[in-house]
Amino acid sequence: MAIPSKVKIIDVGPRDGLQNEKEPVPAAVKVELVHRLQDAGLKEIEVTSFVSPKWVPQMADNAEVMAGIQRKPGVRYSVLTPNMKGYEAAVLSKPDEIVVFGAASEAFSQKNINCSIEESIERFRPVAQAAKAAGIAVRGAISCAVGCPYEGEIAPERVALVARLMKDIGVEHVGVADTIGVGTPLKVQRALDATLQYYSVDQVSGHFHDTYGMALANTLACLEMGIWHYDTSSAGLGGCPYAKGATGNVATEDVVYLLHGMGIETGIDLDKLIDAGKFISDFLQRKPHSRAANALLTKRLG
């Protein structure tokens, strides 16, 4: 498979990146981050999640954030919905896409939502059906696709199972997520191969965490398979809750720097992207978790 000539990036920073922040981030700051990302050329932005504020207090302002965005034509705004109650709240904010999720780890599924993998995906069937009836796209995320904090390495067969179940309930596109960042290129390729049994190369994304510094290597391994959709997070927002002190999502800036260096088109202005990451990092009072951003910010000072 040839390396793709263009790549589409889904920036998950406003949602996946900010959800674990302990201090509240005001809705106006989240809206400004979304505006800066779309101005930098991002066409897919995961904005918020409609989950119980009891579980994820950082996302309690979901409706306010969605209402505050000045939408740009050609940009897709997605939200995470864990159940029908979340979907019913989400649909009022007119998302272009909803995201459902399931783990490829039986232990993870049992510990987090007290049910099996099959049961967890089946719960999303009415959500997917309602979204499709309303003309809203449905994306799925397969978490712990390479490793799990409870049961260690995950067999590709487990990933194939989740992909098949998601296809069965009507999920149109799936992201294969190395949630705890333990993946290495061959393991990640096997997880993607398992998913490609049920989805085409145009319907699959890579979602890599950089806990062990492997996210860019894993991205390159997937580019070699022809995968051209990736979830990334501006400024590398998002800690990994299972690995103390570890960085979470791979930084959008680092992935864009890699892609542009390979002559792959993204439609993203790297300088504006770095400014967006610096904006949210300044608010959080820390440096961006992006090597490319920090190097280029230092260069600007020179």
Catalytic residue list = 240
Alpha-helical (H) ranges within 105-214 are 106-113, 117-122, 125-133, 156-169, 185-195
Q: Round to whole Å and give the CA distance between 101 and 128.
A: 11
**Helix (H, G, I), strand (E, B), or coil: what is residue 210?**
coil
Our measurement of the distance from residue 211's CA atom to the centroid of its chain's CA atoms, rounded to an integer in Å, reads 15
Specify whether the CB–CB gap between 84 and 130 falls below 8 A: yes
Distance, in Å, from the CA atom of 173 to the CA atom of 176, rounded to the nearest integer, reads: 10
How far apart CA 233 and CA 188 sit, in angstroms, is: 19
Tokens 């990994």 label which residue?
A: 240
Give the torsion sign (CA, 257, 260, 195, 98): positive
Question: For the chain, how are helix, strand and coil distributed in percent, rounded to 5?
Answer: 45, 20, 35
